[in-house]
Structure 1
Amino acid sequence: MVTTGQPSPATRTGLSAPHLGPGAIVTGALDDLAPAPGWPRPAMLDRDLLILVTHGHGSAELDFRALPCRPGTLVRARPGQVLRCLGSQLDATVVGWGPDALRGLDVDPDALPAHRQLAGEDADAVINEVSQLAVDADRHARLPAAEALLRHQLAVLLLRLALLPHPGGTPTPRAETETFRRLCREVERGYRHTRRVEDYAAELGCSVRTLTRACLAVTGRSAKQVIDERVALQACRLLAATDESIARIGRALGFPEPTNFGRFFTREVGVSPGTFRADRERPLPVRLVRPRPPADSPAPAGQA
């Protein structure tokens, strides 16, 4: 059976420990991720996660997008995203891993959608694999020899999920998806320094038109919108999950003048940075930052 409720002390320590190595694979419970009891505000994640809901009904707000949750719901979250879970007695098994856990294995965890509801034989297979991984991670937590076992169990789980029917229907053509992913990887490296599409096109050796065509195919939005929304999303994450000053957040995102940051944020999000932060203790602010890419599209590798 899937582990629910409170995990063992060893498992709880694993998920919450700040000293985990880059190849670590750990499991635990949903409450281990909360910044405080009751999820008073979102938590910024520091590792890759798979969250399998095992009990209760509610929602997971992943980067300010509400995802309905019930038994069999699977949520895929990435480092740097912000998460908040709401719901009466909402329990889940959480699998977390570091950046080197899958090194050398032919598996792409970024091919998975952020949210899907499992059912039937697919649900049974995934639940069994998550259950076994959780048992082995707890039982063999301190045995170096178990590292290979856990790595391959995680790879099999992710491969099985990748083989499930695409939840959004027909996927975007591969060439445009790959161009979009390349842009997203470059944006991750450069969004704090430039928001010009021309700069990213030059780095990738393609035209602005090619980038815009790929972004429109995958997200329905232009390359400039994708870049600006990535900056706005990071601002929302920092405003909601940290206590950094608004001026400092703006400077970190390439806005030396607070007024320029305020105008940019208000244009993208619909409210001022101060209003957004004041609302962070309430679920789902007035207007959501649109996620990139949509839940039914592949996510860029290395997205923070």
Structure 2
Amino acid sequence: MVTTGQLPPAGRTDLPPLRPAVDDISTGSLGELAPGPGWPRPVLLDAELLILVTGGHGTAELDFRPLPCRPGALLRARPGQVLRCLGAQLDATVVRWGAGALRGLDVDPDAVPTYRQLAGEDEDAVISEVTQLAVDADRHAGVPAAAALLRHQLAVLLLRLSLLPDRGEQPVPRAESETFRRLCREVERDYRHTRRVEDYAARLGCSVRTLTRACLAVTGRSAKQVIDERVALQASRLLAATDEPIARIGRRLGFPEPTNFGRFFTREVGVSPGAFRAARERPVPVRLVRPRPPADASAGPTMA
């Protein structure tokens, strides 16, 4: 497993390069994502990723959620999320692509499950397609004519993953699911400036009650809780993956006073910002739960 040698400079969020990309699509090993030997702290992702575990056993922490990993485990990660993998023998193939790689193709990457343990025919098909994509990306690196091949291979892979059968999740009414998705889009645009449910209801042309009903249907939590969790999640990401001063992180997230930010974070996460950062070199049990609509909901981005 290949690893990089040094931690990134403070505040740096870009990943080390994987193998040369064709049309912003590249493949590589799991170790190439690590900020240092042994994953000393989470890394803040800057690209779309599929991670297919090929060997070993361990745990991946994606936005602080522990996900058990063994051969056949598949993770779908998004820009802005934080990732750390624990397990000395854990190996995986990583497929990475940029925002323009799928432009013009009828595929929704957000329909791909965040985590799935593959088995049987599904596992065989996905392994075959990931392997072929990796081979072609390496063989045709720097060949412009290969761009269309890799784009369509990636689209087929994502479509196949989006069609995986669900695991018995309770269906959410379409109206509530769409309202939740619309709220997620608005929160993603403006969570740094407002956490008031009333502001989002006004923008979406609905009532606070409607937003709360939709959030309860999808996540089991109120609209206010969903908004506050998004802010706390971003704070946790920056505290864990960067060396940015705590007070500056608070100001970026709409807390001019450090004491107000500290109280908010402690209420949401269960520990102070300073304690959370001090513990970032080891797995930290936190209460953060990132809501995600069901895969069959109508199109629209989830909160990143």
Task: State the TM-score, normalizing by the size of structure 2.
Answer: 0.91
How far does residue 225 in structure 1 lie from its aligned partner after superposition?
0.3
Query: Where in structure 2 are the equivalents of 1:88-103 lying within 5 Å?
Result: 88-103=88-103
Q: Deviation per CA, 1:34-57, whole angstroms, max 9, x where unpaired?
A: 011110000000001000000000
Equivalent residue number for residue 291 of structure 2? 292
CA distance in 1, matches of 2:226, 2:170: 22
How far does residue 274 in structure 1 lie from its aligned partner after superposition?
0.4
Preserved CA contact (<8 Å) 1:232 1:265: yes
Percent identical? 76
CA distance in 2, matches of 1:185, 1:203: 11
Equivalent residue number for residue 45 of structure 1? 45
Alpha-carbon distance change, 24 to 302 in structure 1, aligned in 2, over 3 angstroms:
farther
CA distance in 1, matches of 2:201, 2:184: 12
How far does residue 100 in structure 1 lie from its aligned partner after superposition?
1.0
2:53 alignment partner, SS class: strand
CA distance in 2, matches of 1:238, 1:175: 34
Preserved CA contact (<8 Å) 1:180 1:300: no
CA distance in 2, matches of 1:194, 1:91: 41
Residue identity opposite 1:292 in structure 2? P
Residue identity opposite 1:291 in structure 2? R
Q: What residue ranges of structure 1 are gaps of 5+ in the alignment?
A: 8-14
1:71 alignment partner, SS class: coil
Equivalent residue number for residue 32 of structure 1? 32
CA distance in 2, matches of 1:39, 1:90: 12
Deviates more, 1:170-179 or 1:232-241: 170-179
Deviates more, 1:166-175 or 1:33-42: 166-175
Alpha-carbon distance change, 247 to 168 in structure 1, aligned in 2, over 3 angstroms:
farther
How far does residue 268 in structure 1 lie from its aligned partner after superposition?
0.3
CA distance in 2, matches of 1:214, 1:89: 42
Query: Where in structure 2 are the equivalents of 1:69-80 lying within 5 Å?
Result: 69-80=69-80
CA distance in 1, matches of 2:130, 2:175: 33
CA distance in 1, matches of 2:286, 2:302: 26
Equivalent residue number for residue 119 of structure 1? 119
Query: Where in structure 2 are the equivalents of 1:101-250 lying within 5 Å?
Result: 101-250=101-250
1:209 alignment partner, SS class: helix
Alpha-carbon distance change, 260 to 23 in structure 1, aligned in 2, over 3 angstroms:
farther
Deviates more, 1:161-170 or 1:58-67: 161-170
CA distance in 2, matches of 1:168, 1:211: 25
Q: Deviation per CA, 1:16-72, whole angstroms, max 9, x where unpaired?
A: 339x99951110000011011110000000001000000000010000000000000
Preserved CA contact (<8 Å) 1:78 1:303: no
2:84 alignment partner, SS class: strand
Alpha-carbon distance change, 169 to 36 in structure 1, aligned in 2, over 3 angstroms:
same
Equivalent residue number for residue 12 of structure 2? none
Task: State the TM-score, normalizing by the size of structure 1.
Answer: 0.91
CA distance in 2, matches of 1:259, 1:155: 47
How far does residue 296 in structure 1 lie from its aligned partner after superposition?
8.0
Preserved CA contact (<8 Å) 1:50 1:96: yes
Preserved CA contact (<8 Å) 2:22 2:144: no
Alpha-carbon distance change, 177 to 254 in structure 1, aligned in 2, over 3 angstroms:
same
Alpha-carbon distance change, 102 to 303 in structure 1, aligned in 2, over 3 angstroms:
farther
How far does residue 144 in structure 1 lie from its aligned partner after superposition?
1.1
4+ residue runs over 6 A deviation: 294-299
Superposition RMSD in Å: 2.2
Alpha-carbon distance change, 145 to 36 in structure 1, aligned in 2, over 3 angstroms:
same
Preserved CA contact (<8 Å) 2:22 2:147: no
Preserved CA contact (<8 Å) 2:60 2:85: yes
How far does residue 145 in structure 1 lie from its aligned partner after superposition?
1.1
Preserved CA contact (<8 Å) 2:22 2:146: no
Deviates more, 1:171-180 or 1:245-254: 171-180
CA distance in 2, matches of 1:181, 1:217: 12
CA distance in 1, matches of 2:210, 2:147: 42
CA distance in 2, matches of 1:52, 1:37: 20
1:50 alignment partner, SS class: strand
Residue identity opposite 1:281 in structure 2? E
CA distance in 1, matches of 2:174, 2:144: 39
Question: What count of residue pairs does the alignment treat as equivalent?
Answer: 291
How far does residue 152 in structure 1 lie from its aligned partner after superposition?
0.6
Alpha-carbon distance change, 119 to 291 in structure 1, aligned in 2, over 3 angstroms:
same
